[in-house]
Amino acid sequence: MPLRPRLTRRWTAAAVAALVVLGGGTAVAASGGGGAVAVTEQDQVFTMPETPGSSQSVRIDTAYFTTGDATPRPAVLLAHGFGGSKDDMAAEARFLAQHGYRVMTWSARGFGKSTGAIGLDAPDREVADVQRLIDWLGHRPDVLRDGPDDPRVGIAGASYGGAISLLTAGHDRRVDAIAPQITWWDLNDALFPDGVFKKLWAGVFFTTGGTGSTNGGHGGTGGTDATGCRFTTALCQVYERAALSGTSDPAATALLAQSSPDSVAGSIKVPTLITQGQNDSLFPLSQADAMARAIRANGAPVAVDWSSGGHDGGDQESARVQARTLAWFDRYLKHDQGVDTGPAFRVTRTGGVSVSAGQVVQIGASADRYPTVDGTGRRTVALDGPPQAVANPAGGMPPAISSVPGLGALGQLGGLLGGNVSLSQDMPGQYAAFQSAPLGSPLQLTGSPGVKVQVTVDGTAPAVLFAKLYDVAPDGTTTLPHQLVTPLRVTASGPVEVRLPAVDHDFAAGHRLRLVLASTDLGFSSPAQPAVYRLSLAPGTALTLPTDAALTDDRSSLPLWVWLVPLVAAALAVALVVTGRGARRRRVTRAFDQELATLPLVVEGLSKRYQGSTDRYAVKDLSFRVERGQVLGLLGPNGAGKTTTMRMLMGLIRPDAGSVHLFGHPVTAGAPVLSRVGAFVEGAGFLPHLSGRANLDLYWRATGRPEADAHVAQALEIADLGEALERPVRTYSQGMRQRLAIAQAMLGLPELLILDEPTNGLDPQQIREMRAVITRYAAGGRTVIVSSHLLSEVEQTCTHLVVMTQGRLLAAGPVAEITGNDDELLVGTGEMSAEAIDSAVTELRRLDGVASVAPATEEPGLLVRLDAGGGLPVAGLLAELLRLNVPVERVGPHRRLEDAFLTLTGDRA
């Protein structure tokens, strides 16, 4: 665990629920990753001399994690952060152990169950301890060795643990790779930047160590002194002096230098993965920068990772850092050449919030080269502002607020929680501000900006100023990136080079940059002596802002399915369309039949089963043809299959067998030949919200044919709707709709007109008119097919008949042929004896003008056919019958069809 005050933690936990959730997920991932291998933990307490050669000893509590196998494997030492203990590292230790490492964790002196005073990673104390742990690892048979007593070992840790990794690598050549995180390079610079005491952080640092929650015993000579300080006596004194004076002194500087990896900079020659937090006012990015430059100068591979976390909080990206650390060790401890250790430089940027993912989105930007805080390129932005006087208040109170332990994270929270409130605050009169013009284009700052400021100090005390660079939005909202501030100590009036904090920040176009120099800051000691400084910019002064053009946002990799799914879907869609019944049908379209071209309609072997049935037919093996100029009646009782047949004629339903040809062209769904057919099938079909006229108009336009071909006037005449034509169809009566529908069928005067039960719902007058219309229509050589279940209906208008029942053809031919001749008469009689009938038949046959006589079969009576010549009128026949004493009850035309009809449908009627 990094050094992080509990206050910070609580704030973070309480406020950034999303981040906590993320952290939770991380923990699960870490403990669950590769969980197949059981990891065993072996605890052991080492007793070590307090300092080399000392008679006092300290106890160091350790844990050793293995998967229990005997294969020699590289070892990793995991160091905990300030205020923590070895237990903090257990999860990561198990993770690494599962990935093929022997992992050792330990509680540093003064933490956890380890005894001794905190020596702040002193070379003769903490570093010596780690060297002894390396000795121990060097004797383990299950640890890979590079030589006698030289185990293959890497060290990783954050903050306090990061520094020990650097220091040990500098002091002990047996260390092979390190991965320090959010740690210091130069403790003097971290705690006394430019000689200004970072009092708040130092206080937190020393008091956490002093009164922290550690429950270890305090053996040894260090122990707790009278003030509760658990550091070594020397360190306690350094802190007390600094806290009182606000300045460092040579003794302190020397002591802190010992604990700084900077002191062994030339000896750290191992591959180093440097992770530094962007939210870190304690160990800012400049510490990592110095670290990277020094180690790179030694020729060792270095990668720099600016993570989103740091001592000020924020997302520590534990999972990502842990994964990257593993890759680093895989590459440099296991020497696995195939491992990608990631880019030489990576920055985590906040991309905002992903609603779909329900969390803050971080995007990485990376470059193949670490640009340092000076950048690979630079942009200059001119600053402007009058000379300003800055007062240093007596006692340095009240102070401006910028970086307060934990506030960096809070500053980001401010954004997250919806406030545009900047948490940084400058006291009026205590700061000078110089502002740029709005930026013409966005500016991605990566590094530490610089500017030259003219400072006039009065008095003898050195002036202390705090420089910060705000991002000012057009609406005046100010943001201090990562709440960072650089202190500077000015000893004499004159121009001062100011290096502002290193950050990665995107200044949007239209935003301004504001340089603020304040005399106070909550986090730092500043002179108590009241003073007034005069600050100004030389004309033409510009901020120099480092940039790195090579640093590009990692393209968030879209999942593969994003491309695959539409492709698969397209293939599936094509497959769906080219297969299926309709498609196959279209390929085997039967050709135009020249022989049938003159025939408006030819139906051959037409069959259609009921839906879902295999042997019940709505229409079965129906064949008939219609000649030009005929008015064909399709006659049959309800359910005979008339409508089904008509639907097949229209291509609305597909026959199971057989064919329909219109004018020689086979009928399929939407066959062009249907344009020569007008139809009224099973009731009207109109858009109820449109008027009758609009319906006809739009229907005709839907056919796409020229307007002149419609002959609307004639159709409207048939419809005979008068003013109702302009009313919406929904207001029409059944008869009106019927007439409109027939009118619609007649639009364009089709060569074949199909009317299904056209007189249904019409009154007798209209029925008569309809018959006339049909007759007239056919008179011009056009063909009409009329279906009906009433014989009388078709008999009067049709020239030909097709009679159907139960889906089968019963009869087809001219009306007269089917309905019987007018010459054939049925003479209805009362009961007659067989002899009487025979004699009557015999007598009648003798008469002139009688063609044939037969007894009626269905009822008592005689069937008499008169000669066509009309030699004998019906009246004459009647006279003869009466003469023969036939008990005539009635005389009328013999309707063979109707008889057949009744016989066939009798059961149902």
Partner 1 sequence: MSSTETVNVQTSGAAPGYRPSRTLPLRVEARRQLSRRRTFVVFGIMVALPVIVWAAFAVGGTPSGRDGSPSLIAAATASGVNFAFAVLFMASGFLLSVPVALFFGDTVASEASWSSLRYLLAAPVPRARLLASKLTVALGFSAVAVLVLPLVALGVGTAAYGWGELHLSLAGSLPAGTAAGRLALVAVYLLVCQLSIAGFALWMSTLTDAPLGAVGGAVGLAILSGILDNITALGSLRDFLPTHGMYAWVDVLQPNPDWTGVVEGLSMAVALALVFGALAFRHFRAKDVVS
Binder to partner 1 among 1, 367, 679, 866 (CB under 8 A)? 679
Residues 61/114, Cβ–Cβ less than 8 Å: yes
Binder to partner 1 among 52, 670, 871, 873 (CB under 8 A)? 670
Of 212 and 664, which has the nearer Cβ to partner 1?
A: 664
Looking only at residues 397 through 426 of this chain, which bind partner 1 when binding is defined by CB under 8 A? 415-420
Percentages of the chain per state (helix, strand, coil), in multiples of 5 = 35, 25, 40
Q: Does 357 bind partner 1 (CB under 8 A)?
A: yes
* Interatomic CA distance for residues 510 and 378, integer angstroms: 19
Among residues 61, 30, 525, the alpha carbon closest in space to that of 317 is found at 30
* Interatomic CA distance for residues 869 and 865, integer angstroms: 12
Of 389 and 569, which has the nearer Cβ to partner 1?
A: 569
Binder to partner 1 among 665, 739, 771, 896 (CB under 8 A)? 665
The three-state secondary structure class of 239 is helix
* Interatomic CA distance for residues 539 and 452, integer angstroms: 11
The bridge status of strand 542-547 relative to strand 486-490 is: unpaired
* Interatomic CA distance for residues 215 and 84, integer angstroms: 11
Which residues fall within 8 angstroms of residue 697, CB to CB, at 6 or more apart? 712
Number of residues that bind partner 1 (CB under 8 A): 102
* Interatomic CA distance for residues 107 and 707, integer angstroms: 95
Of 56 and 354, which has the nearer Cβ to partner 1?
A: 354
Q: Does 589 bind partner 1 (CB under 8 A)?
A: no
Binder to partner 1 among 682, 720, 867, 898 (CB under 8 A)? 682
Tell me the window of 34-42, 230-238, 701-709, 817-825 that interacts with partner 1 (CB under 8 A).
701-709
The three-state secondary structure class of 60 is strand
Binder to partner 1 among 583, 790, 868, 879 (CB under 8 A)? 583
* Interatomic CA distance for residues 713 and 357, integer angstroms: 65
Q: What minimum distance in Å lies between the beta carbon of 652 and partner 1?
A: 4
Q: What minimum distance in Å lies between the beta carbon of 747 and partner 1?
A: 10
Looking only at residues 779 through 808 of this chain, which bind partner 1 when binding is defined by CB under 8 A? 779-782
Q: What minimum distance in Å lies between the beta carbon of 522 and partner 1?
A: 25
- Binding marks (x or -) toward partner 1, 110..149, rule CB under 8 A? ----------------------------------------
- Binding marks (x or -) toward partner 1, 815..854, rule CB under 8 A? ----------------------------------------
Binder to partner 1 among 36, 226, 355, 591 (CB under 8 A)? 355
Q: Does 29 bind partner 1 (CB under 8 A)?
A: no
* Interatomic CA distance for residues 462 and 197, integer angstroms: 14
Q: Does 476 bind partner 1 (CB under 8 A)?
A: no
Of 728 and 849, which has the nearer Cβ to partner 1?
A: 728
Element (DSSP H or E) covering residue 498: strand 494-499
Binder to partner 1 among 28, 389, 492, 577 (CB under 8 A)? 577
Q: Does 227 bind partner 1 (CB under 8 A)?
A: no
Q: Length of the chain in residues, anyone?
A: 909
Q: Does 776 bind partner 1 (CB under 8 A)?
A: yes
Q: How many CB atoms lie within 10 A of CB 192?
A: 24
Tell me the window of 43-51, 433-441, 445-453, 580-588 that interacts with partner 1 (CB under 8 A).
580-588
Residues 111/216, Cβ–Cβ less than 8 Å: yes
Q: How many CB atoms lie within 10 A of CB 552?
A: 12
* Interatomic CA distance for residues 455 and 8, integer angstroms: 36
* Interatomic CA distance for residues 19 and 779, integer angstroms: 88
Q: Does 772 bind partner 1 (CB under 8 A)?
A: no
Among residues 552, 547, 507, the alpha carbon closest in space to that of 376 is found at 547
Q: What minimum distance in Å lies between the beta carbon of 438 and partner 1?
A: 11
Looking only at residues 526 through 565 of this chain, which bind partner 1 when binding is defined by CB under 8 A? 553, 556, 558-559, 561-563, 565
Binder to partner 1 among 751, 795, 823, 824 (CB under 8 A)? 751
Q: What minimum distance in Å lies between the beta carbon of 647 and partner 1?
A: 7
Looking only at residues 500 through 519 of this chain, which bind partner 1 when binding is defined by CB under 8 A? 506, 508, 510
Q: Does 592 bind partner 1 (CB under 8 A)?
A: yes
Of 384 and 717, which has the nearer Cβ to partner 1?
A: 717
Q: What minimum distance in Å lies between the beta carbon of 699 and partner 1?
A: 7
HSE, CB side, 13 Å, CA atoms: give it for residue 41: 16
The pair of structure tokens assigned to 620 is: 């079965």
The amino acid sitting at 56 is Q
Count of H-run helices and E-run strands, the chain: 24, 40
